[in-house]
Amino acid sequence: MIERLIEKDYLTSLEEFPVTVLIGPRRVGKTTLVKSAFVEAEMIYLDLEKDSDINKLQDPELFFSAHINKTIILDEIQHKPELFPLIRALVDENRRPGRFVVLGSASSALLKQSSESLAGRINYLEMSPLSLMEVKHKVSLDNLWMYGAFPEPALSGKRGFVERWYRSFINTYIQRDLPLYGLPAAPHVTRQLLQMIASMHGGILNYSDLARSIGLTVPTVKTYMMFLENAFLITLLQPWYANVGKRIVKSPKVYMRDTGVLHYLSNISTYDNLIGHIVAGRSWEGFVIHQVLMVLRTDDEVFFYRTQDGAEVDLLVRRNGRWLLAAEIKLTNSPVLTRGSYLAKEDLQVEILHVITPGADNYRIAEGVEVTSLNAILTFLASN
């Protein structure tokens, strides 16, 4: 089993909280991770997508009480959110750490019942797809970028399997999961929206243009985008605009969260296709951003910066009111920065501007500007 970055936090949570909620997209390895902490006799595992396991909960209070000394693992809790009030009551009777482990394929914003019913008793953890730091001796950077970071396609690297896997993955979300979460869109509208987002990947989000392209109202598109973000399919990267003396871009950038999904929706099936495709640079940018997000603290803030006069930085990480990272992301091993990068460095008063490339070399190209490999950036962030 691949050792996951989140494992230490998960084990600590089991020791400190009665309820641990592990959220994240489907198929990232949540079930494998949670089971690894127990021997069979210590846990009861229920998959709430299986009728046979749901039948065991016809009287959930009786079932849970019969296994009071074991950890109850409830997988895909979004199918039975009505269990949260009962879990709260049982936890109040016995606050033993590690009583319940709850897994969900939706963000905490969509699992409202848990936060309302279990405040003070629950710890949320988010599990992402594979980090380069987790698999750098098993999967090359190029393959992780090309095939995406979900474990099965990333570790397979077989073109036909990867294509079939992403087809099934996306169809499951469109046909079943998103309607279950409450998304009112028809499946064909959701698919069209995802394809539009893939074409916009890495660009400034304009809700009016997107709504006009699909034939929906702006409020409707904003609602749909909220569901896609909370289902871990897209990321909206917000701009930094504290500098009131500049005309700042204040709309977010939109990214598909996983490059495997992006490449499937863009009909990119090989690395050669990717390198020659118009989306390649923006795909690399999104890949780097999401790899960085995987190693950050939960309270770190992440932004981009762009002004009307051309100043721009692709990625900013802020911690405790200070810049931890400022980076331009370039799909070349011989990067050349524009005047806008230097303007942004001056605006933001960052000491070092990093230029993240696919290469392995680290070197300085100007005063306060350093070319840095993705591995080096991830190692730096994980150790700080």
In sequence order, which residues have a C-beta less than 8 Å from that of residue 256 and are 6 or more positions away? 194, 197, 198, 201, 233, 234, 235, 262, 265, 286
Q: What are 180-211's pLDDT values in tens digits? A: 888 999 999 999 999 999 999 999 999 999 99
Fold exhibited by the domain 132-382 = Arc Repressor Mutant, subunit A (1.10.10)
Q: In what order do the strands lie in the sheet with 253-256?
A: 203-204, 253-256, 234-237
Six token digits for residue 346: 């001056």
Q: What are 21-72's pLDDT values in tens digits? A: 999 999 999 999 999 999 888 999 999 999 999 999 999 999 999 999 999 9
In sequence order, which residues have a C-beta less than 8 Å from that of residue 359 and are 6 or more positions away? 333, 371, 373
> Looking up tokens 């204040």, which residue turns up?
250
Mean pLDDT score of the chain = 92
Q: For residue 181, what pLDDT is reported?
A: 84
**Whether the predicted pLDDT of 113 surpasses 60:** no
Q: In what order do the strands lie in the sheet with 312-319?
A: 301-306, 312-319, 322-329, 353-357, 369-373, 363-366
**Whether the predicted pLDDT of 308 surpasses 90:** no
Six token digits for residue 41: 């006799």
**Rounded to two decimals, what is the model's pTM?**
0.94
- For residues 285 and 203, what is the distance between their CA atoms, to the nearest angstrom? 11
From first CA to last CA, the distance across the chain in angstroms is 26
Q: What are 94-112's pLDDT values in tens digits? A: 999 999 999 998 887 666 6
Helix/strand number for the chain, H first, E second: 19, 14
DSSP state string for 140-165: -HHHHHHH-SSHHHHHH--HHHHHHH
| Sequence ranges of the domains in the chain | 7-126, 132-382
Fold exhibited by the domain 7-126 = Rossmann fold (3.40.50)
Six token digits for residue 239: 């701009």
Going by C-alpha positions, the residue among 286, 246, 241, 236 that lies closest to residue 262 is 286
- For residues 255 and 289, what is the distance between their CA atoms, to the nearest angstrom? 9
Six token digits for residue 214: 């699909």
Q: What are 150-163's pLDDT values in tens digits? A: 999 999 978 999 99
- The answer to whether residues 344 and 313 touch, using CB atoms and an 8 Å cutoff, is yes
Residue 241: pLDDT band (50, 70, 90) is confident
Question: What mean pLDDT comes out for the span 351-355?
Answer: 97
Six token digits for residue 226: 């909220």
Nearest-10 crossing angle of helices 207-214, 218-230? 100
DSSP 249: -
